Amino acid sequence: MFELLDFSRPKKELRRVKKVATSLSIARFLVFLGLLAVVVVGVADQSAIIFLLLPLSVLFIWLIVKFNEKKDQEDLLESILSMAQARRKRERRDLKSFDSGSEFLDKSHPYAQDLDLFGEHSLFQLLNHTVSAGGKRELADYLLHQAPPKLAAERHEAVKELSQKKDFLRLFESLGKAFLKNEKDKGKFFEWLAKPYYWKSAYWVPAVLGPFAGVAVLVFVFLLGYPYAYLSIFLALGIVLLGLVFRPLLEAMKALPDEKDLKTYRFWAALLERQDFQHPYLKTYQDPYFGDGFVASKALKELEGQIFFIQNRVNLMYLVFNLLFWLDFMALWKLERWKKRYGSRFSKWQNTFDTWQALVSLGAFTQEEGLKGEVSWKEGQFFEASQIKHPLISREKCIGNDFVLPEGKRIILLTGSNMSGKTTFMRTLGINLVLVHMGLSPMADWLKVGCFQLYTSMRNTDNLGESVSSFYAELSRVKGLLERTDKGMPVFFMLDEILKGTNTKDRIMGSEALIRQLLESSAVGIISTHDIELSALEAQLPELANRSFHHQIKENEIIFDYKIKEGPCPDFNANKLMELMGINFKA
């Protein structure tokens, strides 16, 4: 249905499709008027013209199908246009209109809150190309759980292949955005699939007899002139017999998926079936749509047709034909047959579609950002990066840094003036660790890293509702870190402005004690501080190294280069910043 569309010129193609849809709508209306005329004349004159009802009905249904196809094409083209606009926003890092995924925020998570994985201006907003609740949860799961290096490396190679399939990525996402707008919960459908079969062998009698008997009655009444009483008796018999299948069909109608949802699944399945994936990881998630003599897209199209049929049972035209030909019996049999053949597979298809949405998000992000950085997984405590950048900072403003965890060093003490880039740098390292564990390339020329469990303490705030101060909140985060290190976990930690909620004397004493305790564990990491006194520990603790960010003051302006340097920061800028804000130190 979409193969003939010109996606290279979506605006022009949309105008063309709308014109065709308008023509089909007019033709459908004219045929409907013809149907009314046939019914009125045929019944009033007891004329054979009534037999035109069937071909006109077929034509009317065909026009409805073609009109719906054109409306689907309209929706698809409009979604492609909206995707192009969204892409431009992501390029500018203008993310405020995107889904924030804030429902996945968890203050107790080891790193999600501090690294802006969810919420306003978050990594989720930049990555997310999913369209369903399940796909969204799958992508969030990738962000919240660090995949083992073997799985991350496998997924990384698969995503690289996927990122080269630009047309597939665009069409997969646009199909979802076009049709999966108000997703219906599938819980009742799964319950229906698990219920016993309603079909009974005796139902074959009315199912087969109905159409023949209906035609015979019409011939007798409208061609041979028999009284209308015969038609009335036949319709009354039909009402009684159709009552046998009314309840199971009503239950099915309430439980069946939304037609738009199923249409999305059918298009997705057909798209996946046409792909020639090379990587085994991608083939694993393609396999559920083939096998044992079935093709998922055809099975889903069959169910979609039955849903269209069932949902139109209250339509006046269906009611007429149902009373004449007892169509409900065949409708029930087809549903039961579908349930028997494919019911057990539907859950697998839906779950795999959720995974594909997450993978398409990773592939689209890789393609849009032009990610080519390689990741190498190393044994032991290893972290080395070239020109590593933060993905949430616009390309024009983002400054890359080289970083090495020196051999024999396990803690980096990071000092620097206010606004010099300490916190952003730590978040840059952390968020790139999240990227590579998801299976993405880093925002760097390359990254070599050991297998760490990431843990951060940066954004600790008070909570009046829980009577928790920011200092207590930070201590709780530190406690969580120490619990992990006591268990021997290979943690990579990042602590920002350590123990900032207490006085200088206690902060320096507590910070030194914590540093010494962490050096006795298997953890490695970075600690930022404004307490330059702590930099003297480098001479006492061989496994600690100083790094810093600097600034320059020119007249009334503070200039930062945002480049990490060896050694402690030589001076700070708090006094100058306060002067620029109007605080007079001479008073």
Residues spanned by the domain of 62 = 1-90
Instruction: Answer yes or no: do 461 and 561 share one domain.
Output: yes
At residue 409, φ and ψ (nearest 5 deg) are -105, 140
3-state DSSP of 32-56: HHHHHHHHHHHHHHCCHHHHHHHHH
pLDDT (tens digit per residue) in 280-333: 999 999 999 987 778 999 999 999 888 877 877 777 777 888 888 898 899 999
| Alpha carbons 414 and 567: distance in angstroms, whole number | 9
- Cα atoms in the Cβ-side hemisphere of radius 13 Å centred on 298: 7
Q: What is the DSSP letter of 587?
A: -
Instruction: Answer yes or no: do 366 and 379 share one domain.
Output: no
Q: Which stretch of DSSP H or E encloses residue 350?
A: helix 327-369
Residues of the chain with pLDDT under 50: 462, 464-467
Quick check: 388 and 431 in contact, CB under 8 A? no
Query: 146 lies in a domain?
Result: no
Domain boundary among 314, 344, 370: 370
Instruction: Answer yes or no: do 467 and 423 share one domain.
Output: yes
pLDDT (tens digit per residue) in 319-374: 888 888 898 899 999 999 999 999 889 999 999 999 999 999 999 999 999 999 99
| Alpha carbons 155 and 163: distance in angstroms, whole number | 12
| Alpha carbons 69 and 196: distance in angstroms, whole number | 35
Query: 114 lies in a domain?
Result: no
Closest CA to 547 of 383, 360, 305, 346: 383
What is the number of domains present in the chain?
A: 3
pLDDT at position 465: 45
Query: 95 lies in a domain?
Result: no
Instruction: Answer yes or no: do 534 and 394 share one domain.
Output: yes
Closest CA to 76 of 138, 26, 21: 21
Quick check: 60 and 35 in contact, CB under 8 A? yes
Instruction: Answer yes or no: do 23 and 43 share one domain.
Output: yes
Quick check: 429 and 526 in contact, CB under 8 A? yes
Instruction: Answer yes or no: do 434 and 310 share one domain.
Output: no
Which token pair is 531?
A: 């307490």
Would you tell me the crossing angle of helices 53-92 and 10-45 to the nearest 10 degrees?
Answer: 160
Instruction: Answer yes or no: do 362 and 397 share one domain.
Output: no
Query: 286 lies in a domain?
Result: yes
Q: Which stretch of DSSP H or E encloses residue 429?
A: helix 422-438
| Alpha carbons 286 and 271: distance in angstroms, whole number | 10
User: Where does residue 226 rank: exposed (0-12), middle (13-18), buried (19+ CB within 10 A)?
Assistant: middle
Q: Which residues of 417-454 are buried (b: 16+ CB within 10 A; e: fewer)?
A: beebbbbbbbbbbbbbbbbbbbbbbbbbebbbbbbbeb
Find the angle CA(139)-CA(140)-CA(146) to the nearest 5 degrees: 95
Which token pair is 119?
A: 């919420």
Instruction: Answer yes or no: do 220 and 308 share one domain.
Output: yes
Instruction: Answer yes or no: do 352 and 398 share one domain.
Output: no
Instruction: Answer yes or no: do 193 and 305 share one domain.
Output: yes
pLDDT at position 464: 43
| Alpha carbons 113 and 110: distance in angstroms, whole number | 8
Instruction: Answer yes or no: do 416 and 333 share one domain.
Output: no
Query: 18 lies in a domain?
Result: yes
Cα 311 to chain centroid, rounded: 29
pLDDT at position 132: 93
Q: Is 403 left (phi over 0), alpha (psi -120 to 50) or beta?
A: beta
Which token pair is 340?
A: 């028997």
Residue type, 457: S
* Alpha carbon distances (Å) from 56 to 35, 43, 47, 318, 585: 6, 16, 16, 14, 91
| Alpha carbons 247 and 249: distance in angstroms, whole number | 5
| Alpha carbons 524 and 409: distance in angstroms, whole number | 8
Residue type, 47: S
Domain boundary among 52, 69, 90: 90
Query: 226 lies in a domain?
Result: yes
Q: Which residues contact 174 (CB under 8 A, 6 or more apart)?
A: 76, 79, 80, 83
Domain boundary among 370, 396, 413: 370
Query: 78 lies in a domain?
Result: yes
Which token pair is 348?
A: 């697998």
CATH number at residue 425: 3.40.50.300
Instruction: Answer yes or no: do 525 and 546 share one domain.
Output: yes
- Count other Cβ atoms within 10 Å, centred on residue 251: 15
Q: Is 370 left (phi over 0), alpha (psi -120 to 50) or beta?
A: left
Would you tell me the crossing angle of helices 228-255 and 204-218 to the nearest 10 degrees?
Answer: 140
Cα 254 to chain centroid, rounded: 27
Tokens 């697998």 appear where?
Answer: 348
Query: 145 lies in a domain?
Result: no
